[in-house]
Amino acid sequence: MHNLYVKVCGLRKPAEVEAAVAGGASAVGFILTTSPRRLTAAEARPLAALVPPGVAKVAVFRGEPLEEVRRAAAEAGADTVQLHGGEPPEAFAALRADGFRLIRATSPRSGDPLATGAYGEDMLIIDSPRPGSGERWSPESLPEPPTGSWVLSGGLSPDNVVDAVAALRPWGVDVSSGVESGRGVKDVGLIEKFLAAVGAPGGLDRTR
């Protein structure tokens, strides 16, 4: 289980960020789009300031206009942008020019390519059709095997992540609802348990 890239997403409080960092997370995510876990860019900025070098600070968007993404990600202090809304390759190119690292998120049945880098992104997240819902998706729903630096997301928890990784062999994992005590409410103990289960920190620095 070592050497996985591990992202803990939907963080809203300093204690949550500190637990993720202390547990060896590769990345922390701040949701700047419609969600029970939504933050404003101004709210995310002091949280991002708690994150040390070597841990990615990811601003997550879904369907916002490109100029809003650029403005909010910069204001939040993010170094990585995750796009969930089927944005075109041109949006990724524009954000790359701004200096952001890029994550493209999709689902098995979206029809989008499942090859990492198809839109110029650094990482590919394969999530359930309803992101943030905590729903698992079936490996049988994949039209083709994902390639490159792809991250498994959707319904992962401390109790099932080891088996999920063994079955699908992703490059990384992404968790949000699976470390919550209620919808949108993170549980520091569950964050610690999840990171311990996946063996973070890994031996590879996958934030670079």
Residue among 79, 127, 159, 205 flagged as catalytic: 127
Residue among 9, 79, 122, 174 flagged as catalytic: 9
**Is the torsion defined by CA of 154, 160, 166, 171 positive or negative?**
positive
Q: C-alpha distances in angstroms, 9 versus 25, 36, 93, 126, 144?
A: 10, 12, 24, 14, 26
Active site residue 98: no
Q: C-alpha distances in angstroms, 14 versus 10, 36, 44, 186?
A: 12, 17, 10, 11
Q: How far apart are CA 208 and CA 194, in angstroms?
A: 23
- DSSP class of residue 11? -
Q: 123 with 172: CB under 8 angstroms?
A: yes
Number of H helices, E strands in the chain: 6, 10
Q: How far apart are CA 157 and CA 72, in angstroms?
A: 29
Residues with active-site annotation: 9, 127
